[in-house]
């Protein structure tokens, strides 16, 4: 995963995932609350009281389970779908934004079905990697407060 940024001029947060072995990126537009939750997890921010995704992590653990992986399974009518795959084998339908926020808190891997990457993935040739590097630099300096509504 690369991270979260706010897309201009729409002021809409976006999470950008990168293929581990390949040159494709998957942009997913998300809500401000989920963007903040992802940014908190990336920066290691621990709130004084559990936020929703921290609660989800604690619930999974309290039931004797773990989050084996997050799967982004399809895109239908411009909407992405995901499932949480628990260690017990149980699969729970979830939004990708919530799934990513939870995966970051649990250290779980995030996988994406090939059909989704074929349909919505963007190939970034090596010569455009400097743009991606600028995005990474942005992520090093962004804070969760940047995603709050004004």
Record the tokens describing residue 144, joined without a space: 């969760």
What is the rounded distance in angstroms from the CA atom of residue 49 to the CA atom of residue 130? 39
Q: Which two tokens stand for residue 12?
A: 């809409």
User: Which H, E and C letters describe the chain, residue by residue?
Assistant: CCEEEEECCCCEEEEEEECCCCCEEEEEECCHHHHHHHHHHHHCCCCCCCCHHHHHHHHHHHCCCCEEEEEEEEEECCEEEEEEEECCCCEEEECHHHHHHHHHHHCCEEEECHHHHHHHCEECCHHHHHHHHHHHHHHHHCCHHHHCCC
Q: What is the distance, to the nearest Å, from the Cα of residue 100 to the centroid of all Cα atoms in its chain?
A: 4
Looking at the domain 3-147, which fold is it? Answer: Bifunctional nuclease domain (3.10.690)
Domain ranges of the chain: 3-147
- Distance, in Å, from the CA atom of 17 to the CA atom of 9, rounded to the nearest integer, reads 21
**pLDDT tens sequence for the chain (150 residues):** 566 666 666 678 888 898 888 888 899 999 988 998 998 898 889 888 989 999 999 999 999 999 999 999 999 999 999 999 999 999 999 999 999 999 999 999 999 999 999 999 988 766 566 666 666 666 666 666 666 654
Structure confidence at residue 55 (pLDDT): 94
Distance CA 88, CA 56 (A): 16
């Amino acid at each position: 995963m690369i991270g979260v940024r706010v897309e201009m001029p729409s002021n809409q947060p976006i999470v950008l995932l990168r293929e581990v072995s390949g040159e494709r990126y998957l942009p997913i537009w998300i809500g401000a609350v989920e963007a903040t939750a992802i940014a908190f997890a990336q920066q290691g921010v621990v709130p004084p009281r559990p936020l929703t995704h921290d609660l989800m992590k604690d619930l999974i653990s309290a039931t004797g389970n773990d989050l084996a992986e997050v799967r982004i399974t399809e895109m239908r009518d411009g909407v992405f779908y995901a499932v949480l795959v628990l260690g017990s084998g149980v699969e729970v339908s979830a939004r990708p934004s919530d799934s990513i926020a939870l995966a970051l808190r649990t250290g779980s891997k995030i996988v994406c079905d090939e059909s989704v990457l074929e349909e919505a993935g963007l190939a970034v040739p090596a010569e455009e990697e400097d743009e991606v590097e600028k995005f990474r630099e942005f992520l090093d300096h962004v804070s969760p407060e940047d995603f709050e509504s004004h």
